Amino acid sequence: MDREGETRSLVKSERTASRGQQASRVVDDKNTEDRVDEYLELRDGDKELKLLSLGDIGKKWQGVALFSLCALCCALPFVGCVFALIWMWKYGFRHKFLREYNCLGVLQEVTFWLMILVMQVESTTTCLLSYFLVDQSQFPLAAQVFQAMLVVQACWIGSLFWRILVVEAIDTGAHVAKHKLTARNEFRESSPSKKVATNRASAFLEHLRVDSQFEATPADFESKLFAGRILWWHRLVIAASTVAAALMPLLAAKSRHVMFAGLCEEDHLDDLTDAMQKACKKWTEVPTVSLLGWIDLPLWEVVRHFCVGGICGQQWYKFMSGILRTTQSFRQNASRLLVFLAKTKQANKESWSARERWRLASLNKENEEYLAQVLADGGSDVGTLDLTKLEDVHTWWRVRGFLQLDFVDESAGMDVAATTTALLLWSITIAGLLDWFVHDTHFTAGFVGTIILTIALTITMLNILDACIAINQMLLRDARILTDARIDVLLSDSPEQSKVNSLLEALQVKVEAFDERKQRLFGITITANLRNSWVATLCATGLTTAWQMFRPKVKDLTIDRIQDSLGRLPVPDWLETFATQKLA
């Protein structure tokens, strides 16, 4: 009787107090559907809109990887212009939904395409100079200039990757919003026998703040993304890598300066053409400005590279901040799923990991009041789901399915983030190793900069993997919840025992064998074992590389030399007194 009273109460509350909210949701969903249809029509240029299935959305990372490689190839000399045209056709200003008709939007777009032009000019010029230097038997200088250019190009490519992330996020969001609107309409049109479970599922989604909003322009998408919070150490990673990226153009200018100085030495002047001799004479007469005694460049070169470095740093900031904020947004899905699991009677929170229990307990500290209210015993009218009751099983399955559908757009965003981060990490690592070998295993400012960028991208990649693992672990826990619920049903004397047990068994098989909503990267389901294997391989490779780098300096060390070096270290008197007392 108590259960029937609770059911009637839920139906009554849904029909009275929530009528205004239902009407508001219907209007919001209609507006969202209009925006999605308008976007798809602008994108496709046809009124026959083609909606991607969830399976096709999950495979979009393959196209993203292809055009990310195309973005990397934009840095190649000569042929890079061909790849730049292909990339501009895919992600360029031709998209009507990308156009922002204001001064700031036009300025950003013009600056963006000027960057690609600068990349082409720099790479082509550097290639020609390197070829000339090699012809003059100055291969080390040519390699140094080429390496510096490669690092700068990698920093510029981050801005191209950011455009890929924005465009793909908007495109995926449109298709996912369409699927979510269809699911909401099915909720409203459900049969009377399922109305109670549907109403309760809608109440859960309402309290978990699951909506079907769609950001149709880059400005709306960036505004929503950058409004979210990120952790303090994320800000530290972003700041350090942004400074390193902003200084890279100055380092490249210094490399070209060193190259030209070596080329114009008196020993080589006789071998140069008349044009190069005149250029060297003109170059030596130009007054230079010293920056902290580190870089001596003409004033106009300093100003130009400061401007270029500022733009490069700003674009890198947007890329890194966007990737980390996308990951943080994906983690909010884990919070919703965690709260939903906690509202299930068979959740068995004692078996959760310490991290998950801490996450659940810390929701109040993160200003997620709406989740905390759902968790409170009397803080919401959704109650607790008991999977031994047929009605609650229907509700649980509906809410779980909609939550997984809500994850799809963020999941596709994680695919894009992982693909672009991995490619950028690979290119900057190659540039760093080239810097090390070019400078004969000596630490340089450029090498330190590439180390900072590599560490920042590695941390970002680990953060992406960790967020994917958190989601997958909670989805795997659903099978255990269904198993515990079946045990409770079999031990009960409910008249619905047979029907509930059969339904739970079918759901358990589907979750264990056919759950297609697990988070994948590069088509591979992400697990803790996969992450640990990647970290172990990375550490082993790093240690091996470090040993090869420092081996020439370490192999000559002897005990006598180590003792002599330690003996010359200054030791404070108080420390010597303390050690003597201990020996006594």
- pLDDT for 171 beyond 60: yes
Q: Identify which of 204, 228, 279 has the alpha carbon closest to the alpha carbon of residue 18.
A: 204
3 state SS of 293: coil
**Residue recorded with tokens 């730049």:** 84
Distances (CA, A) of 449 to 274, 324, 456, 579: 38, 20, 11, 41
Q: Tell me: the pLDDT tens digits for 258-298? A: 666 666 665 565 666 666 666 666 555 555 656 655 566 67
Q: Tell me: the pLDDT tens digits for 95-134? A: 555 555 566 667 777 777 777 777 777 777 767 766 665 5
Q: Tell me: the pLDDT tens digits for 497-520? A: 888 888 888 888 888 777 666 778
- pLDDT for 58 beyond 50: yes
Question: Is the pTM of the predicted complex or chain greater than 0.75?
Answer: yes
- pLDDT for 181 beyond 70: yes
| Residue 287 zone, left/alpha/beta (φ > 0; ψ -120 to 50; rest) | beta
Phi, psi of 239 (to 5 degrees): -65, -45
Beta bridge partners of 289: 297
Task: Report which secondary-structure segment, H or E, holds 192.
Answer: none
User: 272-286, 455-469, 489-503: which has the minimum mean pLDDT?
Assistant: 272-286
**Any idea where the domains of the chain sit in the sequence?**
51-184+231-526, 557-583
Q: Which residue has the higher pLDDT, 348 or 438?
A: 348
Q: Identify which of 456, 172, 125 has the alpha carbon closest to the alpha carbon of residue 316.
A: 456
Q: Identify which of 304, 398, 380 has the alpha carbon closest to the alpha carbon of residue 343.
A: 380
3-state secondary structure 332-355: HHHHHHHHHHHCEHHHCHHHCCHH
- Provide the 10 A C-beta neighbour count for residue 179: 19
**Residue recorded with tokens 């490399």:** 255
Q: Tell me: the pLDDT tens digits for 309-322? A: 888 888 888 888 88
Residues 6+ apart with CB under 8 A from 562: none
Please, which pLDDT band fits residue 460 given cuts at 50, 70 and 90?
very high
Q: Tell me: the pLDDT tens digits for 534-572? A: 888 888 877 877 777 666 666 666 666 665 666 666 666
Average pLDDT score over residue span 442-460: 81
